Structure 1
Amino acid sequence: MPFPRVRTLAAALLLAVVASPALATTTHTPREQVPGVYHQTIGTLQVTALFDGTVALGRQQLVGIAPGAVTRLLDHRYVPEDGKGLQTAVNAYLVQQGDHLTLVDTGTAQCFGPGLGQVLGNLRRAGYDPAEVDDVVLTHAHPDHLCGLLDAQDTMAYPNATVWLSAADAAFWLDPASEATAPQGVRFAFALARKAVAPYEASGKLKRFAPGDTLPAGITALDSHGHTVGHVSYRLDGGAGQQLLVWGDLVHYHAVQFAQPQASFEADSDRVVAIASRRRMMTQAADQGWWVAGAHLPFPGLGHVRREGEAFAWVPGEFAPLPAK
């Protein structure tokens, strides 16, 4: 009989498993996923992706592309879809550079109901104190990106942070006059934006800027407007050729918009400009080999962009253990 010791060992292990009451009878039904935290080292940057939750976006909200083409692109992509729409993640990113902590976007907090608003809790689970955050840089002033400036008590979630919002978005979303002339469907967002930034502005911690201005920790703000009038993306330098591009709402439907960048989200304020920004950012990321972090890419939303002819594809980052200290 070949390999008797191996067979004897296997039989003994099998017998032990069958004979063990705990292993034979215990059932375990998980009730929730593990905390939404993922760490990625990019050069000198320690990037922590923070999951806020998911929202459902209807495929009918994609414009500039035929419904049949959308169906073909979604086929065998396995994006979860229910009666409300396609599952879409909401992510924020904490970047540590030495002792400096920068949070890019803040999630939804209490603005969008249950199932969302997890950024602050996940930041704590990742081992960070919100009071340690030095700067919060916002890609734009929509509720799923800035409502998380406040905690459950509507006080400053990041009491020691300076908040950075583009001057163009601040001028629009914080102005009641803009609200009066805005489309009815987005008017709710104006009051939420004003409420979220109010305590920071009152304490002198809200700063307005334009793309090209000097931001803390060497962050470069790139003009990527179109989704909103002042939408920006951020490039962070990890040294040794390692660059991270954090974009906000350049992509909402990853299974469609990489392959068909001309497909727009109906909430884009200027769809023509939004398409141009998406193409420009994807081109730069692909050609330069940048890391990308996306607010509405499947969590953790970290990876790369590659060219596919005149279009693009999303390349999720490989899971990697943290380097030993």
Structure 2
Amino acid sequence: MKRLFFNILIIVSSCVGVSAQQKNYTAGYYGIKVGEFTVTALLDGTVPVDANKLLVSSNKKQVDQLLEESFINNPVETSINAYLIKTPQRLILVDAGAGELFKSPVSGNLTESIQNAGYKAEQITDILLTHIHLDHSGGLTVKGNIQFPNAVVHVDKNELDFWLQHEKPAVDEPAGYTANRGAFLALKPYIQKGSVKTFQGAAELFPGISSAPYYGHTYGHCVYVLKSNREKLVFIGDLVHIGAVQFQAPRLSNEFDFDKIKAIAQREKIYKEAANENYLIAADHIAFPGFGRLKKDGDGYKWIPSNFSSTGSTR
């Protein structure tokens, strides 16, 4: 199994050295206000990603040029973000980081970030998974031990059904299945405990919080929409991995998209919607804290990070 996790590191470069001092910078949090809700970005860590291996493109020069224009080196040090929503009744985590699955000293710091933000893992009542991949559900367990003992995990039924059917390896299965099976195994103790609840497609999960299906990256990939006092925030999961490239070239597919054609269409759909409506985005793989908006820019889009605010303002 350990060997399978390293298969994903064909894309995740292992050439970046990390010192003990750098480790101190990998647990962090940043809070904003969205209507009546408090939303806290939590840094699980970072992972170096080779953009020319992750993004499926016949034009490698285009990828290199877009990175150069944003002053980003390749491999790209990509954030792994999760988000905590505080409501009057609940403490809701959106995605759960990588845990131990990347075998990296600068990822798997989610519970530390939660503590730094003033909470305990035991306080989390619910976990919303955008999908079951290493860096989104991997942190649910560590060495088989449940990290959020009082939480109910919510996931699209299509996503769970897929992994229940593909729990065991098959001959000649796609690389994305093999590389991400550990993400399902990290969820399995919650299934056995009876702490997993499914929904399907668009559903209201809690007052002000709903799901929306964006199937393609995986068979049950969804986003979560938070609305409060005429403000809107959308947690977009894996609809972007390397913003400096994919916002300008949204038709580039991802090596780990299960259905590449559908995933491209979903990316284009949400980018257009976000730019037209000017709503706030929370992105798992945009530089921490991952809050910002999109603006149409020629044939692509421009990412506008939220201004830093000590009061939690998003403007």
TM-score range, shorter chain: 0.7 to 0.9
The equivalent residue for 1:8 is none
Query: In the alignment, is residue 133 of structure 1 matched against residue 107 of structure 2?
Result: no
Query: In the alignment, is residue 285 of structure 1 matched against residue 274 of structure 2?
Result: yes
Instruction: Among all aligned residue pairs of Structure 1 and Structure 2, give the percentage whose two residues are the same amino acid.
Output: 33
Query: In the alignment, is residue 49 of structure 1 matched against residue 38 of structure 2?
Result: no
* Residue identity matched to 2:43: F
* Residue identity matched to 1:75: E
The equivalent residue for 2:7 is none
- Equivalent of 1:142, from 133, 153, 176? 133
The equivalent residue for 2:95 is 105
Give the number of aligned pairs: 291
The structure-2 alpha-carbon separation of the partners of 1:253 and 1:190, relative to structure 1 and needing over 3 Å to count, comes to closer
> Root-mean-square deviation (CA), in Å?
2.1
TM-score (norm 1): 0.83
Query: In the alignment, is residue 74 of structure 1 matched against residue 64 of structure 2?
Result: no
> Is the CA contact (8 Å cut-off) linking 1:97 and 1:217 kept in structure 2?
no
Q: Aligned equivalents of 1:34 and 1:230: distance in 2? A: 29
The CA deviation at 1:87 is 1.4
> Is the CA contact (8 Å cut-off) linking 2:138 and 2:186 kept in structure 1?
yes
1:200-211 matches, within 5 Å, as 200-211=190-201
> Is the CA contact (8 Å cut-off) linking 2:49 and 2:76 kept in structure 1?
yes
The equivalent residue for 1:12 is none
The equivalent residue for 1:15 is none
* Residue identity matched to 1:55: V
Query: In the alignment, is residue 170 of structure 1 matched against residue 160 of structure 2?
Result: yes
* Residue identity matched to 2:62: A
The equivalent residue for 1:9 is none
> Is the CA contact (8 Å cut-off) linking 1:295 and 1:301 kept in structure 2?
yes
The equivalent residue for 2:256 is 267
Q: Aligned equivalents of 1:182 and 1:304: distance in 2? A: 40
The structure-2 alpha-carbon separation of the partners of 1:181 and 1:317, relative to structure 1 and needing over 3 Å to count, comes to farther
The CA deviation at 1:308 is 1.4
Could you tell me which runs of 5 or more consecutive residues in structure 1 were left unpaired when the two chains were aligned. 1-28
> Is the CA contact (8 Å cut-off) linking 1:53 and 1:89 kept in structure 2?
yes
Q: Secondary structure at the match of 2:42?
A: strand
Q: Secondary structure at the match of 2:69?
A: coil
The equivalent residue for 1:18 is none
* Residue identity matched to 1:149: L
The structure-2 alpha-carbon separation of the partners of 1:184 and 1:225, relative to structure 1 and needing over 3 Å to count, comes to closer
> Is the CA contact (8 Å cut-off) linking 2:296 and 2:302 kept in structure 1?
yes
TM-score (norm 2): 0.86
The CA deviation at 1:203 is 2.2
Q: Aligned equivalents of 2:202 and 2:177: distance in 1? A: 30
Q: Aligned equivalents of 2:302 and 2:128: distance in 1? A: 27
The structure-2 alpha-carbon separation of the partners of 1:272 and 1:34, relative to structure 1 and needing over 3 Å to count, comes to closer
Q: Deviations over 1:73-120 (max 9, x none)?
A: 112312243xxx221111100011223211000001111112210111
Q: Deviations over 1:31-56 (max 9, x none)?
A: 73274111111221211111111112
Could you tell me which runs of 5 or more consecutive residues in structure 2 were left unpaired when the two chains were aligned. 1-20
Q: Aligned equivalents of 1:94 and 1:88: distance in 2? A: 20
Q: Secondary structure at the match of 1:75?
A: helix
* Residue identity matched to 1:131: E
* Residue identity matched to 2:198: R
The structure-2 alpha-carbon separation of the partners of 1:182 and 1:101, relative to structure 1 and needing over 3 Å to count, comes to farther
1:1-325 matches, within 5 Å, as 32-33=24-25, 35-61=27-53, 62-64=55-57, 66-81=59-74, 85-114=75-104, 115-150=106-141, 152-176=142-166, 179-180=169-170, 183-189=173-179, 191-239=181-229, 241-322=230-311
> Is the CA contact (8 Å cut-off) linking 2:79 and 2:285 kept in structure 1?
yes
> Is the CA contact (8 Å cut-off) linking 1:107 and 1:145 kept in structure 2?
yes
Higher mean alpha-carbon deviation, 141-150 vs 95-104, is at: 95-104
Q: Deviations over 1:52-73 (max 9, x none)?
A: 1111221222224511111221
> Is the CA contact (8 Å cut-off) linking 1:102 and 1:134 kept in structure 2?
yes
Q: Aligned equivalents of 1:166 and 1:281: distance in 2? A: 18
The CA deviation at 1:177 is 6.3
The structure-2 alpha-carbon separation of the partners of 1:34 and 1:139, relative to structure 1 and needing over 3 Å to count, comes to closer
